[in-house]
Amino acid sequence: MSPAAGGAEELVARFGLMACQAEIRVAGVDADAAQAGIEAAHSELRRIEAKYSRYQSDSLVSRINAAAGSGVAVTVDEETAGLLDFAASLHQQSEGLFDISSGVLRRAWNFRAAQPPRPEQIAELLPLIGWSRVDWNRSQRRIALPQAGMEIDFGGFGKEYAADRAAAVLVAAGLHHGYVNLGGDIRLLGPRPDGRPWSFGIQHPRQAGATVAGLALGSGALATSGDYERYLEVDGRRYCHILNPRTGWPARCWQSVSVQAPLCLAAGALTTVAMLMEEAGPAFLRRQNVPFLTINERGELRREGL
């Protein structure tokens, strides 16, 4: 990571992390203070990735998954307990559609393949899914997966949580103007030094490098989920990576859903739930009182408060 000048009184750093392109931009402070803050935020992002990545065998999530079916509960720290509580709350609010035990479906889904999985492949995995089956003891901060082969996966909110944490580190370092952008999931520190908002574009779900809408934001967070990030297309039908834990098959109805919220953690989770709720997604977002933007299967864009 090598921060570089990004204009008058701005410093920007871009680097790869969490399987995405990350950007941290700060303004309104001297270069030394900005660089020190960016380096601290980058360290925090690496810490979260190491702790929660399912791809790292020594991560906390991997240790929990490795103990599945053994009868052994894993004790977690308060940070992790808070994230598990958040996952439990989202599971309840979404009527089971947001389920961090559904990552096992990736054993059937290969989005680089030429064909979707066979129905029987998915059927074999569905019995391993179900947050309600997970033994989560909040008072003792102990979690156990009752059946061998079960997993939990923080991929549905880990990147967004990381954006919030990086922003908190930057603010603690005295940086109040800028933002953290992790692959399009954005947490703002505050507006530009002169009070003007930052400008962002919503990615076009069918045209790489193009945008469909512009947004001006000075605070809070913005997250987007869509059917264009990882997918396979067969006979004109698109199969995206957002999988319904009840059926094992991808969500349909929306090309893209964007949500603005105070925290990136909340914004990202709400976009995923709205994608999974399909036609009922907008009504769900209205009940959450958040501004949002949707693009339906026909490419029609609708904005409500955003």
Give 34-73 pLDDT, tens digit per residue: 999 999 999 999 999 999 999 999 999 999 999 999 999 9
Give 262-287 pLDDT, tens digit per residue: 999 999 999 999 999 999 999 999 99
Q: pTM for this one? A: 0.94
Which stretches in the chain have pLDDT values below 50?
A: 2, 7-8
User: Would you state the pLDDT for residue 4?
Assistant: 56
CATH of the domain at 126: 1.10.3980.10
Which one of 152, 169, 185 terminates a domain? 152
pLDDT reported for residue 5 = 54
Tell me: do 200 and 68 sit in the same domain.
no
Residue 228 sits in the same domain as residue 297: yes
| Mean pLDDT, the chain, integer | 95
Q: Residue 59's pLDDT is what?
A: 97
Kindly state whether residues 185 and 137 are assigned to the same domain.
no
User: Do residues 274 and 166 share a domain?
Assistant: yes
Structurally, how many domains does the chain consist of? Answer: 2
Question: Does residue 255 sit in the same domain as residue 116?
Answer: no
| Rounded Cα distance, 26 and 35, in Å | 9
Residue 105 belongs to domain spanning: 60-152
Last residue of a domain, one of 124, 152, 180: 152
Residues 285 and 176 in one domain: yes
**Domain ends where: 121, 152, 183?**
152
CATH of the domain at 20: 3.10.520.10
Residue 132 has a pLDDT of 96
